[in-house]
Amino acid sequence: DGTVLRAANNELKKDKEVVLAAVTQNGSALEYAADNMKADREVVLAAVAKDGASMKFATEDLKSDKNFVLTAISKSCMALEYAAASLKADEVVVAAATKNNTALHVPAGPLKADKEVVLTAVTQEAESLHGATGPLKVDKEVGSAAVTQNGHAANCIDETAPMWADEEFVLSMAKLTGGVLEIDQYADWCKADAQWNTPSTKNALALNS
């Protein structure tokens, strides 16, 4: 178990071979390594590859190093959460983290509430909308971006979202989804509005008469 490093003497905590062995088993063991090991790129990357959250134990210099952070997030997108604030706002870094993330998720923690991060995520993988915080799940711009990437993403938008009462938004969604938008449950006004009363539009929106 890599956490045995906690009980090791100071000399062993400075030993790269020992620390590498420990973090390879348990990334969080980096917490108990000596400062020189927390500044060692190879050691920190090995820890991050095992547990992205171990990035929080790296030195501030590494957390502020753009090239290092880009490498770290290629191991685990979670590493971005612990990078320097300036890099969390860097478009290249955020895009790399988002691209590396799995479907249905956006980067961990506070980034889920970051509109720019979520927009980047849904532009690449529409179903990332599932991983956004509540307010962004009902954000018109985010919803449009997700549906533009994949029409089926319309079904990821909360059916109680105010945007479904916006005729312009619903019409644009109908065009983007190419006939997969099931709007009947969202907006009663659709049935009564003349612009929806053509067979082709009803069919595209799956409206019942």
Q: What is the pLDDT at residue 107?
A: 55
Alpha-carbon distance 108 to 79, whole Å?
A: 9
Q: Is there a contact between 168 and 195 (Cβ–Cβ < 8 Å)?
A: no
Alpha-carbon distance 125 to 123, whole Å?
A: 6
Alpha-carbon distance 151 to 76, whole Å?
A: 29
Alpha-carbon distance 79 to 62, whole Å?
A: 11
Q: What are 179-200's pLDDT values in tens digits?
A: 545 544 444 545 445 455 455 4
Alpha-carbon distance 87 to 191, whole Å?
A: 48
Taking CA atoms, 186 is separated from 162, 182, 189, in Å, by 10, 8, 9
In this model, does residue 88 exceed pLDDT 90?
no
Q: What are 50-61's pLDDT values in tens digits?
A: 998 899 999 999
SS3 105: coil
pTM passes above 0.75: no
DSSP assignment of 88-108: HT-HHHHHHHHHHSPTT--SS
Q: Is there a contact between 122 and 128 (Cβ–Cβ < 8 Å)?
A: yes
